[in-house]
Amino acid sequence: MIILLRGDLFRGCTIKTQVFAYKSIITHVIKPLNIKCKDINVIIVTYKNQYENMMKDIFKDYNFYFFIINKKNQVENYINSINKIPDFLINKKNNLLILRSDLYFKQNIDYSRISKDKILTQWNLLHDKSTGEMADQIQFIGGNLIHKFINKINTSRIDTKWPCSLHNFYNYCIEHFGKETISYLNYIKDPNPTQDHSGIRGNPINELGNPLYNYTRYVK
């Protein structure tokens, strides 16, 4: 498994909170995998060469990599972060879990639906059923699809809707990989099953938020 942590470190938070967030990722994201430590590769891709040694110490039980990219818009940052994954890890067809560094987890990731032949969104609910708008903080890419996925995001635009964001990820994957390939990680009961709008949001303070994580900038 490759765990790719992308984006700003210490986004609106203290060093202490970021450390707690990464420890929550160890507890709720990595340990539920039940994979031997030597098989876990943790990659941080961020924008400033700070605190690398501190981050390395947090993830000392895993294979650790730290890369810097120039900060651009969200979609470009996403693609450039994935492009930093070393080729030898890609060629092994490791499964890939992509998530933001500013997530403070409250519950475990559910891996019961993972497959080397699937792409999984973070949960089962769309923001809006009619448009396919999706929360975009976490994605799982099965190892057998990873080469195709990397090629596709570098050659076909993701944000044909909601420019400069990843909210079109669900629609994009259906278009390029087929609906039968798409599933999800965590199940959340739809609070509004008869309505188009679910109310469950990736941003934990918008509308109904979500039960899975908080943002580090909201952690006290």
One-letter amino acid for residue 182 of the chain: I
Give 1-25 pLDDT, tens digit per residue: 999 999 999 888 889 999 999 999 9
- Computed from CA positions of residues 62, 115, 88, 68, in that sequence, does the dihedral angle turn out positive or negative? negative
Alpha-carbon dihedral of residues 7, 8, 13, 14, nearest 10 degrees?
120
Give 134-171 pLDDT, tens digit per residue: 999 999 999 999 999 999 999 999 999 999 999 999 99
Give 54-85 pLDDT, tens digit per residue: 999 999 999 999 999 999 999 999 999 999 99
CB under 8 A, 24+ apart: contacts of 58-67: 58/19, 58/22, 58/23, 58/26, 59/22, 59/26, 61/37, 62/3, 62/30, 62/37, 63/38, 65/41, 67/43
Identify the domain containing residue 45 by its residue range: 2-218
CATH code of the domain covering residue 212: 3.90.550
Specify which residues 123 forms β-bridges with: 186
Integer Cα distance of 149 and 176 in angstroms = 9
Number of domains within the chain: 1
Run of H or E residues at 141: strand 138-141
Give 186-201 pLDDT, tens digit per residue: 999 999 999 999 999 9
Task: Give the HSE-up count for residue 28: Cα atoms under 13 Å, Cβ half-sphere.
Answer: 20
* pTM as predicted: 0.97
